[in-house]
Amino acid sequence: MDNNEKGHPADYNEDEARLAGLGYKQNMKRQFSGLQNFGFTLTNSSVLIGIVPLFTFGLNTGGPVVAIWGWLMVAFFVMFIGLGMAEICSTFPTAGGLYFWTAKLGGPKWGPMFSWYEAWFNMLGQFAGCSGSVLSAATFLNTMIKVWEPEYIADGKKNFYIMAAMMILAGIINTAGGRALKVASLVSVAVHIFGTIAIIIVVLVGAPKLQPASFVFTEFQDHTGYTEAGASTVLVFCLGLLQSQWSMLGYDASAHMSEETEKSYVNGPRGILLSIFASVCIGLGLALSMTFGIQNYDDTRLSALGAGPQIFVDCAGKTGGSILIFLIVFAGFLCGIATVAANSRMLYAFARDGGLPFSPYWTVLNKRTQMPLRLVWLSVVVVIILALPALGSAAVLSAISGISIIGFTVSYAIPILLRITVGADEFVQREFNLGRWSKPIGWVACIWTAFIFIIFNLPQSWPVEDMELFNYTPAAVGFLLVFTTSSWFLSARHWFKGPISEIALQELDGKAPAPALINEKQEVVEEIK
């Protein structure tokens, strides 16, 4: 489209016009390319900080069969979720992401209530995911010390303090502005792709011996106590999927960064799908190499270093192993930077619609960076608070992972479910669309979400005798359900109306929005009443 045609000033921008069509002014600076958006999303899903820290959990809960075949199974169903999200993102490219999608797809009747639940569940997933990722990085930093000083005690307190320091540094980098985030995003792409390739090569080349293919693809071991109690191995396999599912989350970051991304209606969906595809490929290579590189199964799973670091040291020695461990530390730190950025944008969108206490305070953008820095630091504080259980235990990662998975996947499924039910007739497909496959793909995504919601709320070992191994996911999810439900019916339903249009459709500081946004059958600027 010619920027100088009648009705469009010279600086007319399609992204800005589409955002206006959805009811918002371009307040944040649109400064990130499609590659940088992909970088944020790939970092949020972070295969390195997903597979390696939970490798001990995987060896105890199914072993190689779960690590390899479980990865492929999860990847298959996650792609359905990603496709459903990408289609909606192309139509609604806003920082509110899933929260905004839910409100629009639910319509005046269901939109406000479902978007209330959506916002809180997405925040739970975002904050728990960030907390678990950076806590893993802190734990691995302690592990590096233990590699050289075997008598060193890497307890939960030390993990927590290091994690808190990393989060503060992540907040400082976010505060520095767009240039710092761009650099962090590109560095993260290099670390997650080339760093993973380096780990794969070093482990396979340096391993004193490689396990046979029969071990890698067929060995099943259960150390949870379930099969001894008479439970089916299928249940143990399903519980072991936690390792893989934890590694394939956070790809909604592409949507949350859309108001700062060029051509977000294309690059947003692309970022979601490319990050999933890249994660699947490099994650499978990483899982295969680490499984082939196991030297002694029991020694590895019971190692004081953790299974992942033990494999690195066995295959690369102390020095090489320490370098590989540091790659995980760095990846976790970069993940913290990216998730703080995504969290703050989600909170910003929720707050500008009045969803947070003292919303006018939180929605103030920094004049220098045009970013919601108050929400950046709110995110840092909440993430640190979520890691407090680490003070009393060094074994909280699997529980935090479960909480993050539930929060994320439920928030992913809600707009997809509304897209194929109550919002089906009003939804307008844009540049990326699934055509007639939207409904079947959406139903598969929702059924998978319901399945893992049940599985990951179950105890992760049996019987539950050691409180350090207690799965407090049901407690966290239950608390959130009670909070959101009670707050909605007692208070929020009287004042929370979902997304509120900042501008009329014909207003964009003197710029005309795209005509297509006016003529097609979507409610672009309606305040839900």
pLDDT tens for residues 284-293? Answer: 999 999 999 9
- Other C-beta atoms within 10 Å of 272: how many? 30
| pLDDT recorded at residue 96 | 80
**What pLDDT does 466 receive?**
67
d(CA 456, CA 258): 31
230-241: pLDDT as tens digits: 999 999 999 999
Query: CA torsion, points 372, 377, 381, 382, in degrees to nearest 10?
Result: 10
Contacts of 501 (CB under 8 A, 6+ apart): 23, 24, 525, 526, 527
Residue 362 pLDDT exceeds 50:
yes
Report pLDDT for 468.
64
- How far out from the chain centre does Cα 163 lie? 18
pLDDT of 526: 38
**Token digits of residue 413:** 């499924």
Most confident of 39-48, 81-90, 92-101, 511-520: 81-90
Residue 66 has pLDDT above 90, yes or no: yes
Q: Which two tokens stand for residue 403?
A: 């909480």
Under a CB-based contact definition with an 8 Å cutoff, are residues 473 and 406 in contact? yes
pLDDT surpasses 90 at 517: no
Cα separation, 129 vs 135, whole angstroms:
10
Distance between CA atoms of residues 419 and 413, nearest Å: 10
Give the integer Cα–Cα distance in Å for 99 and 81: 16
How many other C-beta atoms can be found within 10 angstroms of the C-beta atom of residue 124? 23
pLDDT of 377 above 90: yes
- Cβ(514)–Cβ(162) under 8 Å? no
Q: To which H or E segment does residue 211 belong?
A: none
Residue 521 has pLDDT above 60, yes or no: no
**Cβ atoms 397, 132 nearer than 8 A:** yes
Say what the pLDDT of residue 411 is: 94
Indicate if the pLDDT at residue 510 is higher than 60. no
Spatial CA neighbour of 459 closest among 474, 444, 449 = 474
Which residues are 222's β-sheet partners? 61
Return the structure tokens found at 209.
Answer: 């011996």
Question: What value does the mean pLDDT of the chain take?
Answer: 88
> Could you give the CA distance from residue 166 to residue 106 in angstroms, rounded to a whole number?
39
Q: Looking at the predicted structure, is the pLDDT value of residue 26 above 60?
A: yes
pLDDT tens digits for 115-173? 999 999 989 998 999 999 999 999 999 999 999 999 998 888 899 999 999 999 999 99
Give residue-wise pLDDT tens across range 172-192: 999 998 889 989 888 988 998
